[in-house]
Structure 1
Amino acid sequence: MSEPRTPRFAYKADRLKPLRAFCQAARLGSVSRAAEALYLSQPAVTLQLQALERELGVRLLERSGRRLTLTREGQELYELARPLVEGIDGLEAAFRERLKGLDAGELNVAAGSSTILYLLPRIVEAFRARHPEVRLKLHNVTGAGGLDLLRTDGVDLAVGSMLDVPADLSYAPVYRFEPMLITPREHPLAARPEIALQDLSPYGLILPPQRLTTYRLVDLVFQQNRVPYTVALEVGGWEVIKQYVAMGLGISIVTSICLTDADRARLAARSLARYFPSRSYGVVVRKGKYLSPQARAFIELIRPDLFAPRDYDAPGHSER
């Protein structure tokens, strides 16, 4: 034998309408005045009140002279329903007010020295012009340090280059830069029509420290091609490396992101795209992390719609 079914009424699917009508009638003491306040007809409000009473199985309102008053049950419901109805009705205004507050606040971005120095200045300038009230913090950290900050919510996002992307992060490459050999302008390699990897062997390389991606990538390419090489100097920072190359202390392999017009006037730069992969730079976020309005505004300046919701579920990939 099947269980008796609970009767369904026309307004049960949308409890907000009858509750709103009930709260207005209770507050104003009149169905007609409630109808005026709700921009509805009086019969429509009456139907909503009747449906609510049928659903709850109690009388909520009773007439006292020309005014409606609450029954004991009606008073209990009014105390419960009023904050709910007022909260829903005021939701849009409260939301807009919250958004105004979110226009200020703080944005933390992790990036390496080269990204901060060569890639971000115009983006930061545009962000500051559009959102002067937001306190922007750039954390100058290496790749691993930036990922640690992402995972511990120390930063909202990271901008930089990645070779291997962990499964818990999303990386969206935006820019690509070519690998370049840089030498002094009077260096023997500067005038060669073509440069082979073997041509670099006699000359000492100036490279970033071994722990960094650039050093490991250079070592990998030379090893794979069985070409010997020597490191004359390890030093951090593209600006220092370029200065030392210009001084004749060695040659280097850099990414074209760091080469300015002034550099090309004092250095010879030759493409090594035949041997080394180009390097991408982009935005890194933690999968599943809610991006604040400030973070989204910053990312929009890099590339609009860079992170659609579907990207958060995409598996990590490798550029290697």
Structure 2
Amino acid sequence: MIADPLKIFVTVAELKNFSRAAEELFLSQPSVSLQIRNLENELGSKLINRSPKHLELTQSGELLYGIAKQILFLYDKAKQEIEQLTTTVTGSLKVGASYTIGEYILPFALAEFSDQFPNVDIAASIGNTVEITHAVRSNHLDLALVEGEVHHSDLDIQPLMDDEIILVVPNQHALARLPIVTADHLQDRVWILRETGSGTRDFSDKLIKDWKVNVKKSHIFGSSQAVKQAVIAGLGIALVSGWIVRKELKAKELTAIRIKGKKLIRTFSIIRPKNSEMTKAMGIFTENLLSPDFISSLMDHNPSVIS
């Protein structure tokens, strides 16, 4: 192995003893001594000053020691990445997502992962944030992607990306004629809301409460698609993820309204049971999700929906 002489040298340098280094490496002491001599001959410089009771690195040895540590680290890293490329990943992956993520992000992630590892059996579940979180906590799902805030001490929660929430109104709505609105403009309006348990509903409820907005009337729908269609039909106004309306805004089927002084951001997160075993499939899928290349490709499909 190309790293063996350097590994032997580093072990001797750290243990400061040829015999203990030989035991550590399961080699004979003559073999260790020979490797060090060969290394010194190859580099044309003495690396170790030794006496019966003492061993110390020369200036050349100190220099090599620092660089050898870096080389060995990079060599191990390369081995791991090559193993990841060449080792067949099998088993199953049970992944869940809340509706917005499940409809607009998860399919891209699963398609990429399935292309890489076709031998993994994938089962995907979509529900609102409360339902999906419960499924993870009860070990019915290996991991999940959810929107909004999740607070459970038995879950490992890892931020994935930010999501912009925007106010959308029917094209014929009075607010559609305004370039920008304030909280006062939102008073006594008809709102389209998601069901209780939805991350988007939690976000909307908190904003309405914080801004002291009086809701004239509300209509509740069980999916983001239904909320979007209700707004297009003229039933009311809604706060939605920019992911779900980008095509409709481009087609001018509804209007996005900027709220004065506000940019509404929430977090998409990866959740899984804390202290649970991370299978190879779970680990690679999570790494893929967090990859800058994957997130960048998603952003290319989702340019800012409101200027």
Whether 1:289 and 2:276 are equivalent positions in the alignment is: yes
Q: Point out the more displaced range, 250-259 or 224-233.
A: 224-233
Q: 1:215 aligns with which of 177, 201, 204?
A: 201
Q: 1:153 aligns with which of 139, 164, 171?
A: 139
Structure 2 distance, partners of 1:188, 1:15, is: 78
Whether 1:254 and 2:213 are equivalent positions in the alignment is: no
Aligned to 2:288: 301
Q: Which amino acid aligns with 1:295?
A: M
- Where 1:278 maps in the other structure, the secondary structure is strand
Query: 1:111: Cα distance to partner?
Result: 0.9
Structure 2 distance, partners of 1:15, 1:190, is: 74
- Where 1:226 maps in the other structure, the secondary structure is coil
Report the TM-score when normalising by structure 2: 0.63
Query: 1:140: Cα distance to partner?
Result: 1.5
Query: 1:156: Cα distance to partner?
Result: 1.2
Structure 2 distance, partners of 1:140, 1:166, is: 20
Q: 1:276 to 1:222 in 2, by over 3 A?
A: farther
Q: Which amino acid aligns with 1:290?
A: E
Aligned to 2:149: 163
Report the TM-score when normalising by structure 1: 0.61
Query: 1:278: Cα distance to partner?
Result: 0.9
Identity percentage of aligned residues = 22
Structure 1 distance, partners of 2:284, 2:259, is: 36
Q: Contact between 2:166 and 2:240, CA under 8 Å: does it hold in 1?
A: yes
Q: 1:169 to 1:300 in 2, by over 3 A?
A: same
| Residue pairs, 1:175-194, within 5 angstroms | 175-194=161-180
Query: 1:283: Cα distance to partner?
Result: 0.9
Query: 1:15: Cα distance to partner?
Result: 10
Q: 2:214 aligns with which of 218, 222, 228?
A: 228
Structure 2 distance, partners of 1:149, 1:210, is: 17
Q: Which amino acid aligns with 1:119?
A: I
Structure 1 unmatched ranges of 5 or more: 1-9, 22-39, 41-95, 306-320
| Residue pairs, 1:1-12, within 5 angstroms | none
Q: Which amino acid aligns with 1:172?
A: Q
Structure 2 distance, partners of 1:163, 1:272, is: 22
Aligned to 1:318: none
Aligned to 2:56: none
Structure 2 distance, partners of 1:254, 1:180, is: 6
Structure 1 distance, partners of 2:218, 2:136, is: 35
Q: 1:273 to 1:155 in 2, by over 3 A?
A: farther
Query: 1:179: Cα distance to partner?
Result: 1.7
* Count of residues paired in the alignment: 220
Q: Deviations over 1:33-76 (max 9, x none)?
A: xxxxxxx8xxxxxxxxxxxxxxxxxxxxxxxxxxxxxxxxxxxx
Q: Deviations over 1:141-179 (max 9, x none)?
A: 322222222223221111112314322222221221222
Q: State the superposition RMSD in angstroms.
A: 3.0
- Where 1:125 maps in the other structure, the secondary structure is helix
Q: Contact between 1:207 and 1:233, CA under 8 Å: does it hold in 2?
A: yes
Q: Which amino acid aligns with 2:141?
A: V
Structure 2 distance, partners of 1:253, 1:273, is: 15
